[in-house]
């Protein structure tokens, strides 16, 4: 193991060998602080710097993996010189940690990565044709959709992208109807822990996050989509990286997908949104799920400012068309 770390090169090897005992002792509490910052969504540069400090103080497989995962959180790919020590560390890592290490090793190269690049190109071509013949609409799940009567405006687009669970059912009562949210649904943006069969006719599915393409093979929901012949996408790592740099936090799925759609279309032409960045109402934040709270890892104030800037640049928001103002 030590030879593998030495072959990796870089500044951390010598620093790790020369670290004092007190620095090694501080590694555990500092690592705990880093984990706490990540859970809070505080993706500031000092978090990455302290992860470096922990590894330099105690260059072990677990601390190397945590540093590599932290870099991924920031949208940074695995450095080439780290591949050998991380590969050598696999037998000494617990099973769950080893799986995450293998995901990192496979994320930015190999057959799965190339297949994703080809799939993204096909998606870009598919979007371009629909953008030119009716436009795209990205529909969030804001509570402001209740009573909005925007369903017809949403369905008028050539392609509609939606998130997670959005379909009104009988159990949801009269709080929201298809009149409010529409029916059209070609692209599904979803969380990996969602368990729901895809609907007939779905054209694409997309998982958010810092390009988790290497993990798709072991996610049941991704496998279910593939079995239903629905091609699965991830957002490029560079899009995630740019947003983390601006927000200093992990972006929400809505902002992440909007940023990618803008990049694919070289601007906002032909792109509308509804139910994204609308905030809460007295009934909550989600048009279906009562009591659904805001994720604590996102910087909602920074995202609202970013969305306002995008709208000023040309992103078309459907809120002014709603029967009652969105909160």
Task: Tell me how far apart the 2 most distant CA atoms of the chain are, in Å.
Answer: 67
| Cα–Cα distance, 141 to 213 (Å, whole number) | 25
Residue 11: is its pLDDT beyond 60? Answer: no
Question: What value does the mean pLDDT take over residues 242-257?
Answer: 96
**Quick one: pLDDT at residue 315?**
95
**Quick one: pLDDT at residue 294?**
61
Question: What's the mean per-residue pLDDT of the chain?
Answer: 84
Do residues 120 and 236 lie in contact, with contact meaning Cβ atoms separated by under 8 Å? yes
**Quick one: pLDDT at residue 148?**
87
* E strands in 55-212: 136-139, 159-163, 187-190, 204-207
Q: What residue has token string 């069969």?
A: 197
- Tell me the C-alpha to C-alpha distance, in Å, between residue 2 and each of 53, 94, 102, 270: 18, 19, 20, 55
Q: Specify the domain boundaries for CATH 3.90.1480.20 within the chain.
A: 117-321
Query: What are the tokens at 252?
Result: 């929400």
Please count the CA atoms within 13 angstroms of the CA of 117 that sit on its side-chain side.
8
What letter does residue 229 receive in the DSSP assignment? T
Q: Which of 241, 238, 298, 234 is nearest to 74 (CA)?
A: 241
Q: Dump pLDDT digits (tens) for 117-154.
A: 999 999 999 999 999 999 999 998 887 888 888 999 99
**Quick one: pLDDT at residue 252?**
93
| Cα–Cα distance, 325 to 327 (Å, whole number) | 6
Residue 207: is its pLDDT beyond 80? Answer: yes
What totals of helices (H) and strands (E) does the chain contain, helices first? 14, 7
- pTM of this prediction? 0.86
| Cα–Cα distance, 298 to 319 (Å, whole number) | 22
The CATH code of the domain at 117-321 is 3.90.1480.20
Q: Dump pLDDT digits (tens) for 69-104.
A: 999 999 999 999 999 999 999 999 999 999 999 999
């Amino acid at each position: 193991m030590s030879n593998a770390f030495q072959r990796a090169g870089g500044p951390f090897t010598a620093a790790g060998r020369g670290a004092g005992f007190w620095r090694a002792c501080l590694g555990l509490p500092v690592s705990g602080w880093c984990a706490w910052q990540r859970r809070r969504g505080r993706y500031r540069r000092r978090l990455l710097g302290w992860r470096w400090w922990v590894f330099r103080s105690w260059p072990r497989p677990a601390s190397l993996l945590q540093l590599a995962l932290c870099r991924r959180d920031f949208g940074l790919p695995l450095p080439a010189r780290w591949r050998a020590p991380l590969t050598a560390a696999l037998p000494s890592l617990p099973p769950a940690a080893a799986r995450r290490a293998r995901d990192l090793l496979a994320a930015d190269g190999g057959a799965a990565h190339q297949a994703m690049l080809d799939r993204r190109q096909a998606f870009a071509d598919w979007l371009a044709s629909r953008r030119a013949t009716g436009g795209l609409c990205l529909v969030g799940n804001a509570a402001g959709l209740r009573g909005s009567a925007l369903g017809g405006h949403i369905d008028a687009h050539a392609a509609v992208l939606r998130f997670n669970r959005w379909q009104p059912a009988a159990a949801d009562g009269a709080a929201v109807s298809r009149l409010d949210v529409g029916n059209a649904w070609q692209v599904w943006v979803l969380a990996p822990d969602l368990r729901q069969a895809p609907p007939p006719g779905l054209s694409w599915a997309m998982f958010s996050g810092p390009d988790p393409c290497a993990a798709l093979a072991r996610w049941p929901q991704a496998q279910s989509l593939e079995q239903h012949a629905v091609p699965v996408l991830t957002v490029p790592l560079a899009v995630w990286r740019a947003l983390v740099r601006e927000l200093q936090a992990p972006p929400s799925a809505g902002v992440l997908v909007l940023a990618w759609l803008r990049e694919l279309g070289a601007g906002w032409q032909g792109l509308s949104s509804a139910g994204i960045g609308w905030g809460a109402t007295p009934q909550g934040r989600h048009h279906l799920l009562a009591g659904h709270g805001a994720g604590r890892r996102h910087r909602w104030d920074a995202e609202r400012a970013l969305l306002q800037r995008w709208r000023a640049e040309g992103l078309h928001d459907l809120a002014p068309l709603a029967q009652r103002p969105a909160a």
